A and B are shown apart, each in its own frame.
Chain A
């Protein structure tokens, strides 16, 4: 995942790919985050300029949504579902075990920058709970061993 700060031209080029859409701001954020792994804050004035908004408005939209990151995450993002169906099958104990094992709090990244663990509220795998997503790969009926295996596979 490239972490180098992008140039204004790079950002402008990405914005251009979405400008034909009605209401292009969320698609623009998604395009930038897909490319860089996060939304570099240098992009906000460029977006504001393109959409004729204030930087404050653009910041306001970005900060409203849980998905958009200001800083890069670890190489692999582990999302563990915290919602009710998963709780009924022991998700609280599972996430506690994962966080404890990695020495992290929710949202934390391991010192080597490899893993970030985040909560997610429902992956739609409620009939085979608890569920998690490890670097884009879904894991159902998750337990510590299966998640560790998935984390090794994704790293």
Chain B
């Protein structure tokens, strides 16, 4: 009997290790021979720990599984049915996440059996020009949030003259509501490695770094192990799969600074400096890590590269909406009945995601607002639920998709409190380099406190401050903190009226 239990840290946090122990104990008690295999998460977090049993028809699911209920697996009790046939799975277009939750994350053989390394093999037979054209044609844009065309960034690095170039993976996924990077690193790490190697071949870079977070110890451990295995198998190292080209890879761990998710801060941190933002120009593509031309790409951008090379650029570009091509892993989080990761073509309306996929709130109360794109993303209200999920479409709403995390709030949310939190977070995490962010965030907290205390006149001051931060900050931390603040103010002006206490 073969049983799969996820080793994803969300599954672990919901008790998967206790479930594994209970399955072993129950199997021993019954004298049944079981093989427990480990996978990543399918992304149906509300069903975690999701235990899967191999049958002739396919893998059937039991979840959410408690250590006390494992007898059901052995008794043949009613299951969720075939996991691949569940509505949540069937409705997705799993390209980047095609193997996540399916294979053992640390089995290179399973990785290959499920389409892995096909893209890299193809890339090895291509010229640098052709590799970069393929990425350009796919329409892939930066999945970290900025949405810059990946192929153009790569081309800039390819054309730069230098004795050494770098591929840096930005895995500093600090946005609340996002966990796609973590799921790939824990659930399909070879996919990220393959994407980075292809980037290295295309740009002529021989060294890669995965810069990730100290808050992700499981992801760090799985990535490091996968790199060792990839090295042993010759996927990375002095001679990448017999191509004669070298590519080395290393994981670096941050130290709890949110701003290091900003690419120039990240580079400073990688170099061993304070994670302070650098002014651009020079672009990191020309003067990046250690002063050398550097590609800095998000995990999902790089992990999407293998499937583009496996299936072809046009296959990937055929999905999506307008200039937002391909698929996007939506991360549905916060106060939702069904939270998790759902990969789909761009274009799904926000309301369908929140109402249909997520099933509304976990508390059963009405949805008040959805914050999209992390702590620097705008709050959107029900009247914006017909907005299709795309870079330009959200831009048109004065919002952003960011790293595609959605945090749902029910009607008990205190929007002035959330606006204050956005400013407070910015003040705590500001790198201190530019004044609008460093001072503005502190003044923002004070101004919101004045409004909360009944000073309605301070609302105008807050708007003015947000304008200054937006226009004058060096990076997205100071520049985008006004998004959640101003959107909360515009959606729920009554909560900022300065007469809140009197009204209550």
List residues of A whose CB falls within 8 A of some B CB: 21-27, 29-30, 51, 60-61, 64-68, 83-89, 120-129, 131, 133, 136, 138-141
Nearest-CB residue, chain A, relative to B17? A137
Nearest-CB residue, chain A, relative to B259? A64
**CB contact list, B125-140 vs A, under 8 A:** none
In the complex, are the beta carbons of A67 and B214 less than 8 A apart? yes
Residues 321-351 of chain B, each 1 if its beta carbon lies under 8 Å from chain A, else 0: 0000000000111111001110000000000
**CB contact list, B402-425 vs A, under 8 A:** 405, 407-410, 413, 418, 421, 425
In the complex, are the beta carbons of B413 and A124 less than 8 A apart? no
In the complex, are the beta carbons of B375 and A83 less than 8 A apart? yes
Which one of A60, A88, A125, A126 contacts B405 once the chains associate, using CB atoms below 8 Å?
A126
B159 adjacent to chain A (CB < 8 Å):
no
Q: In whole Å, how far is B261's beta carbon from the nearest beta carbon of chain A?
A: 11
In the complex, are the beta carbons of A84 and B375 less than 8 A apart? yes
Q: In whole Å, how far is B431's beta carbon from the nearest beta carbon of chain A?
A: 8
**CB contact list, B178-234 vs A, under 8 A:** 178-179, 182, 207, 214-217, 219
In the complex, are the beta carbons of B339 and A127 less than 8 A apart? yes
A121 to B254, CA, bound (A): 13
For A23, the chain B residues whose CB sits under 8 A away are 252, 270-272, 290
Q: In whole Å, how far is B374's beta carbon from the nearest beta carbon of chain A?
A: 8
Q: In whole Å, how far is B430's beta carbon from the nearest beta carbon of chain A?
A: 11
For B182, the chain A residues whose CB sits under 8 A away are 124
In the complex, are the beta carbons of B339 and A128 less than 8 A apart? yes
For A65, the chain B residues whose CB sits under 8 A away are 254-257, 275
In the complex, are the beta carbons of B217 and A84 less than 8 A apart? no
**CB contact list, B327-384 vs A, under 8 A:** 331-336, 339-341, 362, 371, 375
Which one of A24, A68, A87, A127 contacts B10 once the chains associate, using CB atoms below 8 Å?
A127
In the complex, are the beta carbons of A84 and B176 less than 8 A apart? yes
Nearest-CB residue, chain B, relative to A142? B13
Which one of A30, A60, A68, A85 contacts B176 once the chains associate, using CB atoms below 8 Å?
A85
In the complex, are the beta carbons of A87 and B255 less than 8 A apart? no
For B217, the chain A residues whose CB sits under 8 A away are 136
Nearest-CB residue, chain A, relative to B257? A65
B26 adjacent to chain A (CB < 8 Å):
no
For B30, the chain A residues whose CB sits under 8 A away are none
**CB contact list, B269-298 vs A, under 8 A:** 269-276, 290
B173 adjacent to chain A (CB < 8 Å):
yes
For A127, the chain B residues whose CB sits under 8 A away are 10, 45-46, 179, 331-333, 336, 339-341
For A51, the chain B residues whose CB sits under 8 A away are 272
Nearest-CB residue, chain A, relative to B267? A23
In the complex, are the beta carbons of B252 and A26 less than 8 A apart? yes
In the complex, are the beta carbons of A30 and B255 less than 8 A apart? yes
In the complex, are the beta carbons of B256 and A129 less than 8 A apart? no
Which one of A26, A84, A125 contacts B9 once the chains associate, using CB atoms below 8 Å?
A125
A139 to B217, CA, bound (A): 14
For B393, the chain A residues whose CB sits under 8 A away are none
A15 to B269, CA, bound (A): 18
For B276, the chain A residues whose CB sits under 8 A away are 64
A21 to B410, CA, bound (A): 48
In the complex, are the beta carbons of A83 and B253 less than 8 A apart? no
Which one of A26, A122, A129 contacts B215 once the chains associate, using CB atoms below 8 Å?
A122
A86 to B421, CA, bound (A): 13
Nearest-CB residue, chain A, relative to B370? A88
Nearest-CB residue, chain B, relative to A131? B13
Nearest-CB residue, chain A, relative to B265? A64
In the complex, are the beta carbons of B421 and A84 less than 8 A apart? yes
In the complex, are the beta carbons of B290 and A89 less than 8 A apart? no
For B339, the chain A residues whose CB sits under 8 A away are 126-128
In the complex, are the beta carbons of A125 and B179 less than 8 A apart? yes
For A68, the chain B residues whose CB sits under 8 A away are 255
Kindly name the residue among B13, B216, B257, B271 whose own CB sees the greatest number of chain A CB atoms within 10 A: B13
Nearest-CB residue, chain B, relative to A136? B217
In the complex, are the beta carbons of B255 and A60 less than 8 A apart? no
Q: In whole Å, how far is A120's beta carbon from the nearest beta carbon of chain B?
A: 6
